[in-house]
Amino acid sequence: MSALQINHSNDLKRLRDEGYHLEISDGHLFVHHIPYVNSKCDIKFGVLVTTLNISGNSTAKPNTHVMMFSGEDPCDKGGVIISGIKHSNINKTFTNGIIVTRQFSNKPKEGYSDYYEKVRNYSNIISAPAKYLDDSISEMPFLPVINIDESSVFNYYDTNGSRANIEQINRKLSEQKIAIIGMGGTGAYILDLIAKTHVAEIHIYDGDIFLNHNAFRSPGAASIDILNKRPNKAIYYKGIYEAMRKNIYEHSYYLFFENFVELDNMDYVFICIDDNEVRAQLVRYLIEKQISFIDVGLGVNTVDDKLIGTIRVTTVTEDKNDHVDRRIPQTNNLNNEYETNIQIAELNNLNAVYAVMKWKKLSNFYQDLENECHSTYSINNSFLNNEETRA
């Protein structure tokens, strides 16, 4: 949150203007330089920390009355712990290096109306004994706002991660460079999901035009004006998702062997194409370069005036690639069950969800007890079959 955005939040602006030393990071508000008395009656300084509830560029009403604290147990002037706010001990480390070890609870009947009220209340309770012992001490040092989130890939704060308390887990993805080959239905849904993660870069490849049929099996709702312009798919989707995040790189052309080298620095590649001959070349290249990838497939047919079909997700890693020839189609065979061209939005979406969840398992975001590298989901009996287990 920039200084400009703080100006849009009356409560944060008021705290800043009164001299509180604020920092915005990891979707949290840090209030530094909070004086307190420890059990030895020494005056120390701690940091109050609270999740930020944000609507657009400004704060909303705090979603919790609990306040975290980095420091020892605050005590009264005689060194007795202030029990009225004591709640629980925790151990949580933020990207700015601050470690919080305590949570406090002091809830007004109607909750806190804004962050000014919340910070002032806890600050007054914790600081009063220290200021009693030394009237030259203040919790308002008039130091500049600290903002280390300028490097964030997002254009606004990810308060979802802070609300769910999974910032450290989110950071497991933050250094990755991801490529999505093919921006049809499944590839577009994969982008939709990955764009909401903290990955460093997303590279999307497609040389095709976004047409009417694409609009009915892809995320979002394209206008008739967009369709009339016949945009390239990669350019179209970058235009949508760059409203949310940075570092989306569109490559408005097809990948062939001559330019596979562009993938050499990728951490993971998603293959979402229907040309099996190109797929075969791409698979061999990525295995040779020891780049992990996930290949997706969707085959749907009409039987008795109803649709049946299978969704496939095949994972290949440096230590598991002996299943490629038997699991990934590599010839343009019209009878292949994965090559029918019936695509439905929810099936593309489900295919993408399975693929992204598998990538997150490989990245230690989710626990993975199966370690499968080939999954198929049958539509008509809802059967999920996991095979090709990694050691």
Q: What is the pLDDT of residues 138-196, one digit of tens each?
A: 999 998 877 656 678 988 777 677 667 787 898 899 999 999 999 999 999 999 999 99
Q: Which residue has the tokens 């308002």?
A: 140
Q: What span, in angstroms and rounded, lies between the C-alpha atoms of 265 and 149?
A: 25
Domain with CATH 3.40.50.720 in the chain: 168-389
**Mean pLDDT over residues 252-271, rounded?**
96
334: pLDDT strictly greater than 60: no
Band (pLDDT 50/70/90 cuts) for residue 3 is low
Provide the pLDDT for residue 310: 95
Q: What span, in angstroms and rounded, lies between the C-alpha atoms of 327 and 13?
A: 58
Q: What span, in angstroms and rounded, lies between the C-alpha atoms of 264 and 272?
A: 18
338: pLDDT strictly greater than 50: no
Q: What span, in angstroms and rounded, lies between the C-alpha atoms of 117 and 115?
A: 5
What is residue 297's three-state secondary structure? strand
257: pLDDT strictly greater than 80: yes
Q: What span, in angstroms and rounded, lies between the C-alpha atoms of 103 and 19?
A: 24
Residue 320: other Cβ atoms inside 10 A = 18
Provide the pLDDT for residue 161: 74
Give tens-digit pLDDT for 91-124.
999 888 899 999 999 999 899 999 999 999 999 9
Where does 78-225 show beta strands of DSSP type E?
A: 86-93, 99-104, 146-147, 177-181, 201-205
In CATH, what class is 168-389? alpha beta
Asked if 304 contacts 337 with a C-beta cutoff of 8 angstroms, the reply is no
Q: What span, in angstroms and rounded, lies between the C-alpha atoms of 305 and 390?
A: 39
Pairing label, strands 21-25, 146-147: parallel
φ, ψ (nearest 5 deg) of residue 296: -115, 155
Q: Which amino acid is at 10?
A: N
Give tens-digit pLDDT for 46-104.
999 999 998 887 899 999 999 999 999 999 999 999 999 989 999 999 888 899 999 99
Give tens-digit pLDDT for 223-245.
999 999 999 999 999 999 999 99
- Collect all residues with Cβ–Cβ distance below 8 Å to 51 and sequence separation of at least 6: 27, 28, 29, 62, 63, 64, 159, 162, 163
pTM: 0.75
φ, ψ (nearest 5 deg) of residue 192: -55, -40
- Which tokens sit at 346? 């929810």
Would you call 146 exposed, middle or buried from its count of C-beta atoms within 10 A (0-12, 13-18, 19+)?
middle
Closest CA to 209 of 183, 186, 231: 231
- Which tokens sit at 306? 């109803």
What is residue 228's three-state secondary structure? helix
Q: What span, in angstroms and rounded, lies between the C-alpha atoms of 201 and 194?
A: 10
**Mean pLDDT over residues 308-332, rounded?**
94
